Amino acid sequence: AQTVTQSQPEMSVQEAETVTLSCTYDTSESDYYLFWYKQPPSRQMILVIRQEAYKQQNATENRFSVNFQKAAKSFSLKISDSQLGDAAMYFCAYRSNQGAQKLVFGQGTRLTINP
Amino acid sequence: DTAVSQTPKYLVTQMGNDKSIKCEQNLGHDTMYWYKQDSKKFLKIMFSYNNKELIINETVPNRFSPKSPDKAHLNLHINSLELGDSAVYFCASSQGGWDTQYFGPGTRLTVL
Give percent above pLDDT 70 in chain A. 99
Mean pLDDT of A32-42: 95
Determine the average pLDDT of the residues in A66-85. 97
Over residues A44-51, mean pLDDT: 95
Query: Could A91 and B43 be called an inter-chain contact, meaning their C-beta atoms sit closer than 8 Å?
Result: yes
| Weakest-pLDDT range from A18-22, A75-79, B53-57 | B53-57
Determine the average pLDDT of the residues in A39-45: 93
Q: Quote the pLDDT of residue B57.
A: 85
Query: Is B45 close to A103, i.e. CB distance below 8 A?
Result: yes
Nearest to A44 among B45, B56, B103 (CB): B103
Higher pLDDT, A34 or B57: A34
In this structure, the number of other CB atoms found within 10 A of the CB of residue A55 comes to: 11
CA A26 to chain centre: 15
pLDDT at B55: 87
Omega prior to B8 cis, within 30 of 0:
yes
What phi, psi does A33 have (nearest 5°)? -120, 150
Q: Residue A113: pLDDT above 70?
A: yes
| B55, B103, B108: residue with CB nearest A100 | B55
Res. A26 pLDDT band, cuts 50 70 90 = very high
Contacts of B25 (CB under 8 A, 6+ apart): B3, B4, B5, B32, B72, B91, B93, B102, B104
| Virtual torsion, Cα B75, B1, B43, B64, nearest 10 deg | 0
Residue A45: which pLDDT band, with cuts at 50, 70 and 90? very high
Residues of chain B under the 50 pLDDT cut: none
Residue of A nearest to B97 (CA): A101
Residue type, B60: V
- A83 in contact with B, Cβ within 8 Å: no
Calpha distance B26→A26 (Å, rounded)? 34
* Backbone CA torsion sign across B108, A105, B39, A11: negative
Test B41 with A89 for CB contact under 8 angstroms. Answer: yes
Q: Among all residues of chain B, which has the CA nearest to that of A94? A: B100
A96 touching chain B per CB within 8 A: no
At residue A100, the pLDDT reads: 67
| CA A95/CA B16 separation, integer angstroms | 35
